[in-house]
Amino acid sequence: MGEITLMLRAVQQGESGADARLLEAVYGELRLLAASRLAREPPGQTLQPTALVHEAWLRLGGDAQPAWQNRRHFFGAAAEAMRRILIDRARRRRTKRRGGEQERVDLDGFDIAAVPRSAELLALDDALEQLGVTAPAQAEVVKLHFFAGLSFAEIAATLQVSERTAKRWWAFARAWLHTAMRS
């Protein structure tokens, strides 16, 4: 049993200071995941990795952590929380009040409008929700790789499958999402 799983159990049993030790143990890894995810966002992003980790931690329950089964359960929930935070921010940016109806224009080629990244993120979220209904394991791979930034080796360990299976699920999910987003 891994160190993080033991800490999760200590938190669940109400051990004094276990929640602080858990946060200390996973903070660095969560921050790296947040930084890799935010690196894929458009320039000018105001959300910093530290803020994303803190907000995700609060959404996960803060100091009153729920009963996590294991490392996989925890990091899956963390990836989902980060995804939800980014989706919520993209939706807010698209609101009429914040100029969401306006299109971005590439100033170098003034006549060509650029597709806003928030629109792509929202389309991905909708397609990912659909994929989660028909193929939940493949949807989980997308969340862990795209939103949490885990490598295929880390995904395989988290989902307790082979790395080859994780890559196969990723290939399937990418093709499925590509088709769903084009429709």
Give the model confidence (pLDDT) of 103-146 as tens digits: 544 434 433 333 445 677 778 888 888 999 999 999 999 888 87
Question: Helices then strands (H, E): number in the chain?
Answer: 8, 2
pLDDT band, residue 1 (cuts 50/70/90): low
Q: Residue 93: CB partners within 8 Å, gap ≥ 6?
A: 100, 116, 118
Comparing 160 with 2, which gets the higher pLDDT? 160
Span 59-83, pLDDT tens digits: 887 766 677 777 778 888 888 888 8
Q: Is residue 26 predicted with pLDDT exceeding 90? A: no
Q: Check residue 97 and report its DSSP letter.
A: G
Note the residue count of the chain.
183
Burial level of 140, CB count in 10 A (0-12/13-18/19+)? Answer: buried
CB 159 within 8 A of CB 166: yes
Those residues whose C-beta lies under 8 Å from the C-beta of residue 164, and which sit 6 or more positions away, are: none
CA angle 169/172/175 to nearest 5° reads: 145
Mean pLDDT of 43-71: 78
CA distance 22 to 8: 7
What per-residue confidence (pLDDT) applies to 98? Answer: 53
C-alpha to C-alpha distance for 69 and 2, rounded to whole angstroms = 12
- Sign, CA dihedral 177-172-82-67, equals positive
- Number of domains the chain contains: 1
The reported pTM is: 0.56
pLDDT for 44 = 62
CB 132 within 8 A of CB 169: no
Greater model confidence, 9 or 66: 9
Computed over every residue of the chain, the mean pLDDT equals 78
For the chain, percent of residues with pLDDT exceeding 90: 13
Give the three-class secondary structure for 93.
helix
Band of pLDDT at residue 101, cut at 50, 70 and 90: low
Note down the domain range covering 35.
Answer: 3-182
Reported as a pLDDT band with limits 50, 70 and 90, residue 25 is confident
